[in-house]
């Protein structure tokens, strides 16, 4: 993608609202592909850890220089540039660095993916994938053909509700296969312990089996 954008003079914009600030075991998900740098990167969520709403746009030097040469980028929003948001962001970034939570996310992510791979014996689990502490389990109606459940079955939402009843919060996502398809996403806190990962995966297993 980077090469294609360069060839046609197109800006490469990376949406790292979910994947940024250590979630994948690197500060930004793009760092998993050495030498690939976006021209513009958007981030949020982990920037302030949800304590207050906060987001940021990062731009490369060549983008900033081009904007400056055109007279600058004059903008403002009613609630932007808020000092409380800036203070929260600085506090969260300081905490991440002080306790080396980005590296910890990589280590705990390996444990999480290892436990999720243990779901291979559950007949409706089609795939497990992820980076760091951002992972997903794909639910399929038929593993051999990879045929998904119909969207009307709302399988991901059913599993999500069943997991919540058992004490684990997971994220239901759908529409990956022509409007159908179900994913159960996991994005635990970067301070999660191994025993908590084990408990969460066991709850997810029980919930999938109960709903399938």
Cβ–Cβ < 8 Å for 139, 155: yes
Cβ–Cβ < 8 Å for 183, 138: yes
Q: What are the residues facing 142 on neighbouring strands?
A: 147
| 67, two tokens | 């904007």
CATH of domain 103-211: 3.90.1150.10
Identify the burial level of 71 via C-beta atoms within 10 angstroms of its C-beta, where 0-12 means exposed, 13-18 middle and 19 or more buried.
exposed
Q: What is the pLDDT of residues 25-61, one digit of tens each?
A: 999 999 999 999 999 999 999 999 999 999 999 999 9
Domain span(s) for CATH 3.90.1150.10 in the chain: 103-211
Output the pLDDT for position 179: 87
Those residues whose C-beta lies under 8 Å from the C-beta of residue 175, and which sit 6 or more positions away, are 151, 181
Q: What is the pLDDT of residues 58-101, one digit of tens each?
A: 999 999 999 999 999 888 888 888 999 999 999 999 999 999 99
Four-point Cα dihedral 119, 125, 127, 131, nearest 10: -50
User: Which of 18, 83, 11 shows the shortest CA–CA distance to 44?
Assistant: 18
pLDDT at 177 over 90: no
Residue 126 phi, psi (nearest 5): -90, -30
- Write the class of the CATH domain 2-98: alpha beta
Output the pLDDT for position 102: 98
This prediction's pTM: 0.91
User: Which of 44, 58, 60 shows the shortest CA–CA distance to 5?
Assistant: 60
């Amino acid at each position: 993608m980077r090469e294609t954008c360069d060839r046609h003079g197109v800006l490469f914009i990376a949406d790292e609202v979910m994947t940024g600030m250590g979630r994948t075991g690197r500060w930004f998900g793009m760092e998993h592909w050495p030498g690939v740098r976006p021209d513009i990167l958007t981030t949020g969520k982990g920037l302030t850890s949800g304590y207050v709403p906060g987001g940021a746009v990062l731009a490369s030097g060549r983008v900033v220089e081009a904007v400056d040469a055109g007279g600058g980028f004059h903008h403002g929003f009613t609630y932007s540039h808020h000092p409380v948001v800036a203070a929260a962001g600085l506090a969260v970034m300081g905490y991440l660095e002080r306790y080396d939570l980005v590296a910890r996310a990589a280590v705990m992510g390996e444990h999480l993916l290892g436990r999720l791979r243990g779901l291979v014996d559950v007949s409706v689990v089609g795939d497990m994938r992820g980076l760091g502490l951002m992972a997903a389990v794909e639910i399929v109606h038929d593993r051999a053909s990879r045929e998904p459940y119909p969207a009307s079955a709302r399988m991901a939402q059913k599993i999500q509700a069943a997991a919540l009843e058992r004490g684990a919060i997971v994220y239901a996502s759908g529409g990956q296969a022509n409007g159908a398809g179900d994913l159960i996403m996991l994005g635990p806190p970067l301070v999660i312990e191994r025993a908590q990962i084990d408990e969460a995966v066991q709850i997810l297993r029980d919930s999938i089996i109960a709903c399938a």
